Structure formats: structure tokens, C-alpha cells
Amino acid sequence: MDFLSLLKQKRPFLGFFIQTASPEFLEASAYAGFRFAAVDLEHAPYGTETLVQMIRAGEAAGLSVLARAPGLDAALIKRALDMGASGIIVPNIDTAAQAAQAAALCRFTPEGIRGACPGVRANHYGAGGSEYYARKNRETAVIPLIESPAGVEHCEEILATPGISALFLGPIDLSVAMGLRGDVDDPLVHESLLRCIDLAKAAGVPVGALSTDPAFAGEMFRHGLDFLACGIDTILMLNACRRMRESMLPAAPDMI
């Protein structure tokens, strides 16, 4: 299912950010009931050659796959969408002008400036016909990522930008930018996130966020959050390994 179709159901749903090159993780998360994955091309050590395999795995398992671009990178955004990504999360959006540029890079003329090629995977290698361009303009999710005090300050103008599909909120970068060293539980971070959610609801724009804290996630959903990334696969893997090792310590207290 494409990401915009998930949003149209108007029911909350969950996903992950993905930094490992693991199609198997995408499949497993789908079978566990998660609905989307955001493949992180900003921080992961791979590129679009891996992304296309992740998209294939997600499609096969019924998972919507977004690509998180490294920035307002026209070439990479175009390639990710040509490969069949359901949408693009564009980081570090601080102004309405940047949000408008993100929307333009994700859509074909006359709505944008995305480069066109009929033979790409997203057009079934040409089998999709000329309707492909208008269809993808309708189906592609454009999701600005607010993760700085400037983005929070200009959130209302960003939400009013024509062509954006949803908003995403990044608490980790926001905390670092606020001088809080990544403390996502600081009240100032929570206050900023909830303010942006309230503004998104007032503007009628779907909004998502990253959080691993069920209590704060519940508060965000009560404010109207539409979708939640429950964490990052690498950290999930680390924490699972830690729990397993700790559970075995009583069996051999002198374990090295």
C-alpha cells in the first residue's frame, strides 16, 4: 500500500527508520504489523542500489517504503522515486521556501521540476504508459522533516506550503540544535513537538514523529499524531542484544 493511502485511512500507524541494508528486517517488521519503513539515505552507508532492494522487499510484504533523502538533493530524490519509493522525507526543512523546493523536486511538470524517464521501475519499465506522470504526482508523498528551532518557529508557514503531503518531526536533531545534547525527553523538546502537532492538526496536514517512549507517544497521539516511527533498526538490534546478554548473566556471573 502506498503511503498516502495509509494516511487516507485516518487511523494511527507505526513504522521504523532503517539504516541497515536488510530487506529481511523490512519483511519481518511488516509481518509483525508495522506499516511503513523510512530507508535512511542521510545516515546509512549505502545508496540507491540498496534502496531498490529494500523497496522490493517492502512491496512484497505489503509495507510502504519511504526514502529519507540526505537533503534537497534533486538527483537522489529523482532516483529514489524512479525506483518506486512511496514518498520522500526531506530533512532540515526550516522555511516554507525549502518545503516548496522539496515538493517541486518530487513532482513532474506542471506541478514540479522532477526529471522524467518512461523506462524506470516506478513506471514498470515503460508498461505504465503516459498516465504514469500524472498518477505519480497524485501518489507521491512529500514529507518535510522539521528538526531545528528554526523549523519549529516557521512550522505554520511550512504547513501552508502547497504540495506537501505530511509533516515529520525529528526530536533528536531538535534536541541537539537546542543545546540539549540529544535529550529527547527534555520538556522543551516535548513542548516544541506538541506545538507542531497542534499546528498541523489546525492546518489539516497529517503529521508523524520519531519516539521510542510509549508514554510520550501516547501524548502525541492524543494531540492528533497520525503516524509514528518507533525507532531505528540499528538501535533496536543493539537493545535486543543487550537484553539477551543481561538475561544470561545469572547463568554465569563471572562471564567476560
Could you list the active site residues?
43
C-alpha cell of 101?
523546493
Alpha-carbon distance of 196 to 102, in angstroms, equals 19
Cα(239)–Cα(81) distance, integer angstroms: 32
Give dist(CA 107, CA 78) in Å, integer.
Answer: 9
Q: CA 170 to CA 136: how far, in whole Å?
A: 26
Question: What is the chain's length?
Answer: 256
Judge contact between 80 and 69, C-beta under 8 A.
yes
Strand residue runs (E) in 27-180: 36-40, 64-68, 87-90, 141-146, 167-169
DSSP state of 121: G
Phi-psi region of 20 (alpha: psi -120 to 50; beta: other; left: phi over 0): beta
